[in-house]
Structure 1
Amino acid sequence: MRAQDDQRMFYGWVNAAIFFFVYLASMGLVVYGYSVIFPAMVADFNWSRGSASIANSIHLLVLGFLAPVVAIVLKKLGSKTTIILGLIVLLAGMTLLGTVTTGIVPWTIIWGFIVPIGLAFAGLVPIQLNVMQWFSVKRATVLGLVMTAAPVGGFIAQPVYTWFMEHAGTWRVGWLVSAALAAVALILSFWVRNKPEDVGQYPDGIRPEEAKKAGGPQVRVARTYRTSTPWTPGEAFRTRTLRFFLLTFVTKAMALMLILSHGVLHLTDVGLTDMQAAYVLMSVLIGSAVIRFPMGWVGDRIEPRWVISVSMGLMLLSFLVIWQAPAFVILMVCGPIFGAAFGASLVMDTTMLGNYFSPESYPSIMGIVLPVVTLCMAAVPTVSGYIADQQGSYELAFVFCAIGLVISFISSFLLSPPHKSIAPAV
């Protein structure tokens, strides 16, 4: 008898489909859409690039430091309500950007403060928590599938928003298209269910009694480590594993931010055309998109920490090539490798934390991790820009990030499963 044959379907897949669109409409088309719409706004208002970019630095900081708040709300209200609240705020923010933005002050307030609130509450942490609660055996596979939505959205955003803005003659239509997609995502989110037990189901669609039948033909058993007990953030951060995880996360995030924020400028400085540099950056996004789902499948069969180690090695090598920029053809090979390495490790990061410390503990742990990562990421664009201004190149910025990736690669081999120490009975 198959698991849950009295159910019409396993509802976890419905959640996954909804989350794919929510993540595409928010992180994919809003965050990556910024790179297309923002230049048009700067040209229209004749803004200083530095002054206009302050909004994005504030945006990143608010997004990161909201993580602990999101963790508290998730614990009290659950993922469904949290996501709905986030999408309401995001819809309001996108609508305001497309209608009342008439200068740099409203732009800074809306993009810097309102939009990141929506993205934080309807973003990755609530979605990842829900997926981890619905899936155990196929956890990495489904996480990889859902997280593919962001780079797919980024790939779509470039031509779609450009087309709309050209035909409408205004950048405002870009934000209004985002608002319309956020409205659709909001409607769909009402069909989300928090946990399998809410609809009388079980994680992965497997009944507990079937899970106990070792060796049964229909039994699907997790092939990678899974903790059986939740950890508090304090307990988790006392482990060597989480400290080395934070180190790997920070250093690779900084390297990615350098490529995304100054990669085109660096490549044009060393002789590539604007179009060639844009193609290299697009190849990074493509590589990140295509790898996430297949790597999720791998992560359910091979311990995620080994996938992270291989990914960090590839990320380091491809980063060095992008830095040196030997030829356009070679860059078009290494760009997707760099993106794929980051995308694969990002899926494995989420999977590993859920496996090692339990899905229930994941939001609280990320509530501490994300502010640290965000602080470091937010510093990269500004510091790298000043380095280029003072020295005439990004060499020192690349040296710093390359050293960080070397440290990250070494640290990735130390991400072994943690074990709680049990106090002796008195």
Structure 2
Amino acid sequence: MFVSARAAGLFLVLSLIFFHITASTFASLGVVLPAMIAELQWSWTEAGFGFTALALFTGLFSPVAAESLKRLGLRGNYAAGGAAMTAGFAMLAATHGLAAYLIATSLLGAGFALLANVPSTFVIAQTVSARRRNFMIGAYLAAGGAGGVAGPLIAHALIEGGEDWRLYWRFAMALMLALAAALLIFADSRFLKSTPEDANASAPEADKVAPREWTLKEALRSPAFYLIGGALMAAYFCSVSVSSWAVTHLTGLGLSAGFASAMLSLHAASNAFARAAGGVAVKSFRARYLLIAGLAAEAMGMLALSFATTPAIAVVFALFEGFAFGMILFATTVLAIEYFGLKNSPAILGAMNLFATVAMLGPTLTGLTGDLLGGFSPIFIVYGLGAAVLGAAALFIHNPNEA
């Protein structure tokens, strides 16, 4: 499966890093923030700028990750990412003012981009056999999804247990240092030069069109690039909005706060499952069909959220929207590699992830709608219809390598 035992160790460490950085940033910052706000006397608006900085710098540094991997090499890129994350966690643990908080979340966003799926899916693809490539990418992405499940639980247990919120960030810093050190042990520059057999061997028979290695400039001229990027943007837009406002929306519809919080946990679990399931399903179904399924689930999940006046409908929302995000993230990653080749995939995936920076507008737009209309259902319906339109457009996407 792996080209060497060292490559297997590298995969394990990369997966643990993705688990940790997902758990300790996007998944748990909102859980720790109330304790920080209470001590530091910030407003919710001021605290919310941290989420904006985190999302913005993750998107902006996604293309940088590709260039960093190319110029700094395997060890250099992950050392830089680990240093940025460690510094960010250290600043959060020591922060006493808004400026330090915003610098810290910006560092975490930059570090996240340097460590997460843009460079790591390329590294993994270089260290496993082509027939197992998509499965292992799915397993790697599922590790990040699992972090989304575990992060809030760990943070909540720590805060509710009476521990200082600064301890949580110190713990995150120490674990980041340990994982970065472990990665430097397993990293080998030769992994970036290896090319497993037929890069398209893992695709279904119908998709085995000989790919060429597209440059980013060439990919930018392909309609498929923008549809894949648009699907990724929709997934992040809906997911960030759900994370920010779903509990408020569900409680406003009459469901209990405890049940609403449980729906977010179910949402995260469904997300993690979809990423792993994609790695299995892609052996039998085209990645394009998985993308369409993800967008259809996105539409159904957001529409269910709009009318989630009963627990049963809320469960439908959590299962479908969680599945949607995980499957879209997996399918867009696989499609980018299958359509545009492996060699320049970090640059192409990084450019696609720039679409995700638009997602930082989601919570603001959703909140504004709630203020103006007295509820969130109308905007969630719009999000669902937007996903449905993208799903319909994906029916016509084709492999740009086909004649």
1:47 aligns with 2:42: yes
Please say which of residues 27-36 and 163-172 is displaced more in the overlay.
Answer: 163-172
Alpha-carbon shift at residue 305 of structure 1 (Å): 0.5
1:16 aligns with 2:11: yes
Alpha-carbon shift at residue 408 of structure 1 (Å): 1.4
Q: Write the distance in 2 (CA, Å) between the matches of 1:30 and 1:310.
A: 28
Alpha-carbon shift at residue 382 of structure 1 (Å): 1.0
Q: How does 1:41-80 map to 2 (within 5 A)?
A: 41-80=36-75
8 Å Cα contact 2:294-2:324 kept in structure 1? yes
1:32 aligns with 2:15: no
1:414 aligns with 2:383: no
Alpha-carbon shift at residue 363 of structure 1 (Å): 1.8
Letter in 1 for 2:10: N
Q: Percent identity?
A: 21
Deviations 1:239-277 (A, max 9, x none): 221122222222232222221111111111111111111
8 Å Cα contact 1:15-1:192 kept in structure 2? yes
SS of residue paired to 1:148 = helix
1:177 aligns with 2:171: yes
8 Å Cα contact 1:152-1:289 kept in structure 2? yes
TM (norm. structure 1) is 0.87
Q: Write the distance in 1 (CA, Å) between the matches of 2:281 and 2:395.
A: 18
Q: Write the distance in 2 (CA, Å) between the matches of 1:362 and 1:165.
A: 40
Where does residue 90 of structure 2 map in the other structure?
95
* Structure 1 residues 403 and 226, CA gap change in structure 2 (3 angstroms): same
8 Å Cα contact 1:140-1:296 kept in structure 2? yes
Where does residue 186 of structure 1 map in the other structure?
180
Where does residue 401 of structure 1 map in the other structure?
383
Where does residue 217 of structure 1 map in the other structure?
none
1:349 aligns with 2:332: yes
Structure 2 unmatched ranges of 5 or more: none
Q: How many residues align?
A: 398
1:310 aligns with 2:293: yes
Q: Write the distance in 1 (CA, Å) between the matches of 2:318 and 2:356.
A: 23
1:323 aligns with 2:306: yes
Q: Write the distance in 1 (CA, Å) between the matches of 2:216 and 2:192.
A: 26
SS of residue paired to 1:137 = helix
Alpha-carbon shift at residue 202 of structure 1 (Å): 5.6
8 Å Cα contact 1:20-1:149 kept in structure 2? yes
Q: How does 1:356-371 map to 2 (within 5 A)?
A: 356-371=339-354
8 Å Cα contact 1:165-1:171 kept in structure 2? yes
* Structure 1 residues 237 and 420, CA gap change in structure 2 (3 angstroms): farther
Deviations 1:83-102 (A, max 9, x none): 1210122112112211x211
8 Å Cα contact 1:322-1:334 kept in structure 2? yes
Where does residue 125 of structure 1 map in the other structure?
118
Where does residue 268 of structure 1 map in the other structure?
251
Deviations 1:101-148 (A, max 9, x none): 11222112211x222121121122111111122232222111110111
Deviations 1:150-176 (A, max 9, x none): 221122222322333344531111111
* Bigger Rg, structure 1 or 2: 1
Structure 1 unmatched ranges of 5 or more: 212-219, 422-426
* Structure 1 residues 176 and 154, CA gap change in structure 2 (3 angstroms): same
Measured on the aligned residues, the alpha-carbon RMSD in Å equals 2.3
Q: Write the distance in 2 (CA, Å) between the matches of 1:255 and 1:30.
A: 18
